[in-house]
Structure 1
Amino acid sequence: MEAVEAVLTGKYPAKNHARRVAQYIKKKNPDASGVLYLEGQKTRMIEDNDETHPRQRRYFNYMTGCPLPDAYFTYDITNDKSTLFIPPIDPESVIWSGLPLSEEEALALYDVDVVQTSNEVAASLARPNPTATVYGIADQVSDHITFLQFKSTDLTLLKEAIEECRVVKDDYEVALTKKANAISTIAHTAVLKAVKKARNERELEGLFIEKCIANGAREQAYHGIFASGEAAATLHYVKNYEPLEGKLNLLLDAGGEYSCYASDITRTFPINGKFSKESRAIYDIVLEMQHTCTNMLKEGVVWDDVHLEAHKIAIDGLLSLGVLQGDKEDILKSRTSVAFFPHGLGHYLGMDTHDTGGHPNYADKDTMFRYLRVRGKLPAGSIITVEPGIYFCRFIIEPFLQDPVHSQYINFDVLNKYWAVGGVRIEDNILITKTGYENLTTAIKDVAEMEKIISES
């Protein structure tokens, strides 16, 4: 982690991000000139509460690295000049929250050329610029802001440009993701050590969050999944309070967020320290799916093809167990495997857990690809999750059993042995390189090692 910490001693590379976004706009419009305009999240109260909503707008964060609410940003394309506008001192607020960041402090912290206070935004935009365009984001421009001095206003292209630029990460963003993964691995390991003695899911969720906060990740990247027994078949399980007694496995899908960058890690392990025969068989299939698919990754690989390979391995594995029966090519063609692996193989990861730029097609008539969050070729520098799974969800599988096409490929008697497994998912965060990949996730997934930690704890 020394190399990661060394990278993170520098500033978040906001200026380079602004340049990349401007270059994207110029590729779309070679004559583009003018100003990129963004607003940070407004201070707003949680409904029926006197607490504020803390989440910074991701578009603003990408261009500034600044978490402050009520801030503004402009970038002059022609002059390569970035300006951050931060809130001025409000004496009444100081009573409760202390002195805010000064302009000098902000300039030292953030990778921008100029820092001014937000009451100067309107005047800055009012300077005559009759030949230029202002690029903003629809529904993220305050009522008191006017663009009358510009030749034209574009409230579409900037959002697209930022979303596409966010796909390819620079070294700083990779370091932030590695840091988030390292902290989350500490938390995952803590749950592994505690699961045998825990009474319910909420104890484990509390432990995970405690370890994240204690190690520098105050926020969770998403609502974690602590699903025991058959609940592991629910893809986005939210209860996290059910008892553990009498259940086989825990599916733990959770990740901390570090400086606005997410981790997203899933592990499945036996609550009592020893996989059942059926659980181990499913785990080994999913681990093979992940291993094979990860080894396919490099710049230019088509994600759809990797997802298809995962289904082929799942079919082979379920055929070997007798859960599926018949010809594997017919099973693949009929899409019967979707009953057991209904989601996509993974998604881009960055400031959002399900990050931008994946170009999914949720209207796809092919059920195998409908929920695939990334389509097409993977660029070097992108970070993607590889998260295959096999699930035994009655609500999903039972309609397949009633269908004459699908039911011929499913052995109901063998299937009945696997309901208690619930589901198995294994998820790592993978950086795509020109020649291959780098796995950013180090949380334990080796069966012998997991079982040893649980049994000895």
Structure 2
Amino acid sequence: MDAIAQHYPQHIATLRQRSDALLAEHNLAGMVIDAGYPAAIFLDDMEYPFKANPHFKQWVPLTDNPHCMLVIRQGAKPQLLFYRPVDFWHKVAPLPTESWVEQVELIEFARLEQLLELMPQDKQQFAYIGAHADHAASLGLTLVNPKPLMDGIHFSRSIKTQYEIECMREANRIAVIGHQAARDAFMAGASEFAIQQAYLSAVGQGENQVPYGSIIALNQNSAILHYTKLEQTVPAQRLSFLIDAGAQVNGYASDITRSYAYESTGLYAELVAAMDAHQQQILAMIKPGVAYLDLHLDMHRRVAQMLNQFELASGSEQQLIDLGITKAFYPHGLGHPIGLQVHDVAGFMQSADGTEQMPPEGVTVRCTRIIEAGMVLTIEPGLYVIDSLLNDLSDEAKALLNPVRIDELRPYGGVRIEDDVVVLADGIDNLTRQFGL
């Protein structure tokens, strides 16, 4: 039995323990978790790609089965209401037979109107978890995504079971294969579009199956943080390549970024090496009890060091931070929680009652948690030449910049390095680098 399947029974046992405690705390008999269904495209007979409710796929490894539902009751085996219509227009999913099915009570139904009779009798004691309040109403479920319950579920999702970690480990393994194929395509002279095709082919997942739209950026496009408009023509010069791309396994995501210089020497190659070293030093600081925000702020000090090292700016670390210069070169956060969603829930939550700690004013970061064992986090520092941000700096800040050196770096765009890591009691398990990337 593979590691994922081996750990699934304990995963379900943990979810049942968590849900039993939360349901009892909130005086509920259970909850109905809706997988969801595709949204119709306006004035068309087609639908947008289906994305399963993350709460649904936490319980069962089904990511492409709309109209299914889970009925979770205190102290009882989860019921999976599995939709299998009679349909000659589309391929109908077979009933699952894998070992995980032993952990649920599988109930097949063929007509959507049957759902009403499959709902619990005491509907008022059940919460509906899902995106379709109108659907919930049609089933007689009036308690839709109650915040106290959702806060408890989201907070508990921060600590991953071994099953979840193994799913993300496999998602990293697959994505690393894609990253290696993409790197080779870049070195061989492929366009952004062709590199994307090489990546998807290597991971064996379509662009609607991977957890997010891949960022495949050559040269100056690397400075566009969420660049997805892939060019089909090959640039006149191959200078730099930034790839931010992941894969998914059983609904769990990986999120990996690497930057490559076409020439093995020079300013950009040295910048990539320096960023990689700083990223690994940040990784070495991770352990339970450390504040994620402190890691982010430490990275700003490191960016200040790099700005001085590469003569992009000059000044003390504190000057470069206080004047907003490091934020102009490094405008995003250090990373984020990851799991069922790429930017997973509860990054700001401090307790299961929904208490949040937002970042200090002017600080951009997606996580303010105190790090705990069992969390899975990304660490992705970067440095870019983004003219709109540099132009917005004060005259005092601009006086510390080196325009000549910035002009030299601008055609390369920027650099970012990202790994996915599990927090252990005494350090980390790096899910990305263990596969040789």
- The TM-score with structure 2 as length reference comes to 0.87
Number of equivalences = 422
Deviations 1:4-63 (A, max 9, x none): x3333564734532432343455xx3x634111221112444442435633211112113
Tell me what 2:129 maps to: 137
Separation of aligned partners in 2, 1:222 and 1:128: 39
2:348·2:357 contact (CA, 8 Å) conserved in 1? no
Structure 1 residues not aligned, in runs of 5+: 446-457
Separation of aligned partners in 2, 1:185 and 1:165: 29
Tell me what 2:402 maps to: 411
Matched, 1:230 2:226: no
Matched, 1:327 2:327: no
Amino acid at match of 1:277: G
Separation of aligned partners in 2, 1:188 and 1:232: 16
1:191·1:204 contact (CA, 8 Å) conserved in 2? yes
Tell me what 2:242 maps to: 251
Tell me what 2:29 maps to: 34
Alignment of 1:286-325 (within 5 A): 286-325=275-314
- The TM-score with structure 1 as length reference comes to 0.83
Tell me what 2:56 maps to: 60
Tell me what 2:153 maps to: 162
2:28·2:127 contact (CA, 8 Å) conserved in 1? no
2:257·2:380 contact (CA, 8 Å) conserved in 1? yes
* CA RMSD after TM alignment: 2.9
Separation of aligned partners in 2, 1:147 and 1:409: 61
**1:440–1:105 distance in 2 versus 1, CA, 3 Å:** closer
Deviations 1:160-204 (A, max 9, x none): 233222211111111111111111111111122222222411111
Alignment of 1:50-199 (within 5 A): 50=46, 53-67=49-63, 68-77=65-74, 79-87=75-83, 89-91=84-86, 93=87, 95-97=88-90, 100-102=93-95, 105=97, 109=101, 111-113=103-105, 115=107, 117=109, 121-125=115-119, 127-128=121-122, 133-137=125-129, 139-141=131-133, 142=135, 143-147=137-141, 155-199=146-190
Structure 1 residue 86: Cα displacement: 1.8
Structure 1 residue 270: Cα displacement: 1.9
1:135·1:157 contact (CA, 8 Å) conserved in 2? no
Tell me what 2:353 maps to: none
Amino acid at match of 1:234: I
**1:161–1:18 distance in 2 versus 1, CA, 3 Å:** farther
Matched, 1:16 2:9: no
Pick one of 305, 312, 325 that aligns with 1:336: 325
Amino acid at match of 1:112: V
**1:81–1:338 distance in 2 versus 1, CA, 3 Å:** same
Structure 2 residues not aligned, in runs of 5+: 350-355
Structure 1 residue 344: Cα displacement: 0.2
Structure 1 residue 327: Cα displacement: 2.1
